[in-house]
């Protein structure tokens, strides 16, 4: 009795193991592996029985037509009791729902496996390609996608996961959809592969009623030719999945509410495809109102900064814009709203940086370590909002170089960065070359170079070949090639080198030389306004003439 029970039990277990090995991987099972150790896979087919004398079909054959199954049955010569639910190709064409919720582009983080047991066409399944060709199964879309279009294994898995029923459609049905894409946008095989890999659900859409209609609608609404439409769709493939009503609402927002032309709208969508995913009522309109009403921008100003940085319309008002602009700039740094507007107008990419991980650590370093006040740092930020383009590590590296390599004191570094915050964007090698060039051009010692740098910090960011050298050449010519006189003038007034050569230095030096005066007095007259300079020069000339006249009288006596 015990032996019979044992034999019966073993036979049952063996039957279950055989059944699982024949069925292959389904959701929650892997071939030859216990369910507890299995990895979740997409459901590839539904099984309602098992084979007696033949291997099980692949997921490839899950949606065969009756004609194909009958042809397969007649050639194999036996009746299988493997029942599979068939799907009608055209019945699965659908249109994307028009959702007003925030749409976030999701990255496909699915793990695609290279093992043979889980490939779309499993080698464990004994249907070879030759057998399938003989059975007329090359008409299935799987072979067309893999062999003719040349989609990769990973792309086939993506299609299996996101648009699995498309693999059971006939090749002619999928070809129609691909041909519509080709003809409407002049796409090549590479473009088609890229489109299907990124947006497999396009295969669910009807060739003319969905894909063709959407592309025609986009071409008409956005005034796009084939090349422009191609660039747009390749940048944002999900456009094809949206309903015409949804797309029309988005186009109307950019053209009617913001005042962009349809061409500008098309360029914006191509530059930042995520704009297509944003809901109009839940995202785009609230952000537009914040910039117009709360920040006080005009519509033309808003259009300008959106052209520079289209991502501005993607940031949450409550979680991004208000914390950065209101809480940080206005409340923490005591910055006036007018200055906040100017920062955004001059550098709209400021809003791209993370508040907690980037903006606040840099702010704390300037205020706590470099001992700037909140108002002083707000001035630095107002002068040069691109200070946030630098990492905290780079800023510390520049400060360390100025302190310990150049030999500046903490107060001198503080003045240097306050007057010319652009210095934090320079590499240490560039700073070294700039200081060396300054010394060679004007015969300065290390101490003298430090005095000039601290007095005129912007000299470190001026071009040597296009700015400093032409000024030095002209001053040498005006001073009669007297290098010592030029050096003395620079040490007396380092800001002399900060003025424009053509608009300020040359006209005033020539005015001084025309009156037969010493050119070194340029250090006194160059900071003045033009009216004050003219009055000062006239007085200087009259004074010298009076002295000359008195000297002549003394000689005659």
pLDDT digits (tens, 9 = 90+) for 53-83: 433 444 444 444 444 444 444 433 333 333 3
The model's confidence at residue 142, banded by pLDDT at 50, 70 and 90, is confident
Q: Is the per-residue pLDDT at 518 higher than 80?
A: yes
pLDDT (0 to 100) of residue 163: 86
pLDDT for res 542 = 85
Average pLDDT over residues 302-313: 95
And the tokens for 551?
Answer: 């000297």
With cut-offs at 50, 70 and 90, classify the pLDDT of residue 254. very high
Mean pLDDT of 465-487: 93
Cβ neighbours, 10 Å, residue 188? 10
Per-residue confidence (pLDDT) for residue 131, from 0 to 100: 40
Q: What is the mean pLDDT of residues 264-269?
A: 92
30 backbone dihedrals φ, ψ, rounded to 5°: -130, 145
* 195, 181 contact by CB (below 8 A): yes
> How confident is the model at residue 548, as a pLDDT?
61
When comparing pLDDT for 135 and 235, which is higher?
A: 235
31 versus 475: the higher-pLDDT residue is 475
Lowest-pLDDT choice from 39-53, 192-206, 451-465 = 39-53
What is the pTM (predicted TM-score) of this model?
A: 0.69
Model confidence band, residue 164 (pLDDT cutoffs 50, 70, 90): confident
Ranked by mean pLDDT, which of 2-11, 243-252, 338-347 comes out on top? Answer: 338-347
Question: Does residue 92 have a pLDDT over 70?
Answer: no
Find the mean pLDDT for residues 180-185: 91
For residue 180, give the nearest of 233, 137, 224, 132 by alpha carbon: 233
Pairwise CA distance, residues 61 & 84, whole Å: 9
- Mean of pLDDT values over 161-190: 89
Reduced 3-state DSSP string for 355-387? HHHHHHHHHHHHHHHCCCCHHHHHHHHHHCHHH
Confidence of residue 475 (pLDDT cuts 50, 70, 90): very high
Question: Is 90 exceeded by the pLDDT of residue 382?
Answer: yes
Task: Taking residues 492-517, report their average pLDDT.
Answer: 93
Provide the pLDDT for residue 557. Answer: 53
Residue 550's pLDDT band, with cuts at 50, 70 and 90, is low
Mean pLDDT value of segment 100-115: 35
Binning pLDDT at 50, 70 and 90, where does residue 84 land?
very low
Residue 30's DSSP bridge partners are: 33
Contact assessment for residue 267 and residue 308, using Cβ atoms and an 8 Å cutoff = no
Statement: residue 28 has pLDDT above 50:
no
The predicted structure's pLDDT at residue 545: 73
Is residue 253 within 8 Å of 285, Cβ to Cβ?
yes
Summary count for the chain: helices (H), strands (E): 25, 0
pLDDT for 543 equals 83
Q: What is the pLDDT of residues 309-337, one digit of tens each?
A: 999 999 999 999 999 999 999 999 999 99
Q: What is the pLDDT of residue 102?
A: 36
pLDDT score of 105 more than 90 = no
What pLDDT does 541 receive? 86
- Structure tokens given for 25: 């991987």
Please compute, for residue 527, the number of CA atoms within 13 A of its CA located in the half-sphere on the CB side. Answer: 7
What pLDDT is recorded for position 552?
A: 57
Does residue 268 surpass a pLDDT of 90? yes
Give the whole-number percent of the chain exceeding pLDDT 70.
73
Domains (range + CATH), the chain: 138-241 (1.25.70.10)
DSSP 8-state symbol, 175: H
Instruction: Give the other-Cβ count within 10 Å of 236's Cβ.
Output: 21
The three-state secondary structure class of 170 is strand
pLDDT at 180 over 70: yes
Least confident of 16-30, 199-213, 499-513: 16-30
pLDDT at 138: 56
Are residues 218 and 239 in contact, defined by beta-carbon separation less than 8 angstroms? yes
pLDDT at 472: 94
Q: What is the pLDDT of residue 19?
A: 44
pLDDT at 120 over 60: no
Which regions of 352-490 does DSSP assign to beta strands (E)?
none
Structure confidence at residue 553 (pLDDT): 55
At residue 140, the 3 state secondary structure works out as strand
């Amino acid at each position: 009795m015990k032996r019979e029970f044992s034999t019966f039990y073993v036979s049952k277990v063996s039957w279950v193991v055989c059944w699982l090995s024949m069925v292959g991987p389904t959701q929650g099972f892997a071939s030859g592996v216990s369910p507890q150790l299995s990895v979740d896979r997409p459901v590839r087919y539904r099984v309602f029985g098992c084979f007696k004398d033949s291997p099980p079909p692949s997921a490839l054959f899950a949606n065969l037509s009756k004609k194909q199954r009958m042809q397969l049955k007649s050639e194999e010569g036996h009746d299988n009791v493997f029942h599979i639910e068939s799907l009608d190709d055209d019945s699965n064409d659908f249109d994307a729902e028009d959702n007003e919720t925030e749409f976030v582009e999701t990255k496909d983080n699915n793990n695609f496996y290279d093992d043979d047991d889980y490939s779309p066409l499993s080698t464990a399944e004994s249907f070879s390609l030759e057998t399938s060709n003989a059975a007329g199964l090359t008409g299935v879309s799987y072979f067309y996608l893999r062999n003719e279009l040349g989609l990769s294994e990973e792309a086939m898995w993506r299609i299996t996961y996101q648009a699995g029923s498309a693999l059971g459609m006939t090749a002619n049905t999928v070809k129609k959809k691909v041909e519509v894409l080709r003809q409407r946008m002049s796409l090549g095989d590479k473009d088609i592969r890229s489109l299907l890999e990124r947006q497999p659900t396009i295969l669910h859409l009807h060739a003319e009623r969905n894909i063709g209609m959407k592309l025609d609608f986009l071409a008409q609404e956005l005034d796009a030719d084939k090349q422009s439409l191609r660039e747009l769709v390749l940048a944002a493939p999900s456009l094809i999945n949206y309903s015409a009503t949804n797309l029309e609402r988005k186009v109307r927002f950019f053209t009617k509410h913001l005042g962009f032309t349809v061409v500008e709208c098309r360029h914006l969508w191509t530059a930042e495809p995520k704009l297509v995913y944003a809901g109009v009522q839940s995202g785009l309109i609230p952000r537009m109102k914040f910039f117009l009403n709360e920040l006080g921008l005009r519509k033309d100003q808003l259009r300008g900064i959106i052209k520079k940085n289209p991502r501005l319309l993607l940031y949450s008002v409550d979680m991004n814009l208000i914390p950065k602009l209101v809480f940080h700039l206005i409340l923490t740094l005591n910055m006036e709203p007018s200055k906040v507007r100017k920062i955004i107008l001059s550098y709209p990419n400021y809003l791209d940086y993370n508040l907690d991980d980037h903006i606040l650590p840099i702010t704390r370093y300037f205020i706590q370590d470099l001992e700037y006040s909140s108002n002083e740092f707000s001035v630095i930020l107002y002068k040069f909002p691109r200070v946030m383009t630098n990492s905290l590590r780079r800023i510390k590296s520049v400060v360390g170089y100025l302190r310990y390599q150049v030999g500046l004191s903490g107060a001198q570094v503080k003045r240097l960065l306050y007057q010319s915050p652009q210095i934090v964007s320079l590499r240490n090698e560039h700073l070294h070359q700039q200081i060396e060039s300054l010394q060679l051009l004007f015969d300065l010692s290390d101490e003298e170079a430090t005095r000039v740098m601290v007095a005129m910090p912007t000299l470190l960011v001026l071009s040597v070949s296009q700015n400093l050298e032409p000024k030095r050449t002209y001053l040498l010519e005006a001073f009669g090639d007297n290098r010592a006189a030029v050096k003395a003038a620079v040490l007396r007034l380092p800001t002399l080198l900060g003025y424009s050569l053509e608009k300020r230095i040359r006209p005033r030096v020539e005015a001084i030389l025309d009156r037969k005066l010493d050119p070194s007095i340029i250090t006194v007259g160059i900071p003045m306004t033009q009216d004050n300079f003219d009055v000062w020069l006239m007085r200087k000339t009259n004074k010298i003439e009076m002295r000359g006249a008195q000297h002549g009288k003394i000689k005659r006596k």
